[in-house]
Structures are given as C-alpha cells and as structure tokens.
Amino acid sequence: MGRHEELRKEIDQIDRELVQLVEKRMKVSTEIAEYKLANNIPVLDAQREKKVINKNISYLTDRTLDSYISEFSKHLMELSRRRQKECLKQHTKTC
C-alpha cells in the first residue's frame, strides 16, 4: 500500500470514531432538549456555548489549532441546537 492510501485508511478510522462520538453527543443533546421542553428552558444557552468552546480549546496540545477547534465547536453546537429544535417540533420517538 502506498503512503497516500495508508494515510487515507488512518483518516477513515478517525472519521468512524468521530461519527460514533457525534452520534452519541446528539443523543445526549436530544435528552437535554426533552428536559428543556419539560422545564420551559430555551434551546440556546450562549453562556454555556462560550464555556464549551474555551474548554475544547484547552484540550488541545497544538496552540496553532485554536481557531479551528473554536470553529468546529461552533458548528457542532449549531447542529446540536438544530437537532434539538427538530426533536422538539416533531416530538417523535426517532428523537
């Protein structure tokens, strides 16, 4: 196997793990949505999102990746909120 192929295999394995973790995160987010619905709490919590971004950046060892992780976290939470809203709207068993 050439080096390119070898590295792509590595990326594929990382993506598999990432997808599994994103799925897990989305499920927890959905549970939070249920709690919010029951307790009349809005989906967006801007303060919490700032903390999540800073926390995630702090996990990095490579400081040159700060802005990427900041952006990644923002995207992730945007999707998480979208999923929460979708679940609250439909309120089906799929969520």
Ligand X SMILES: C=C(O[C@@H]1C=C(C(=O)O)C=C[C@H]1O)C(=O)O
Q: Does 30 bind ligand X (CB under 6 A)?
A: no
DSSP-derived letter for residue 27 is H
The values of phi and psi at residue 94, to 5°, are -75, -20
Q: Could you say whether residue 24 binds ligand X (CB under 6 A)? A: no
Are 80 and 22 a contacting pair, CB within 8 Å?
no
Among the listed residues 2, 13, 21, 49, the single contact to ligand X using CB under 6 A: 49
Minimum gap (Å) between residue 77 Cβ and ligand X: 4
Residues in contact with ligand X by the rule CB under 6 A? 29, 32, 43-45, 48-49, 52, 77, 80-81
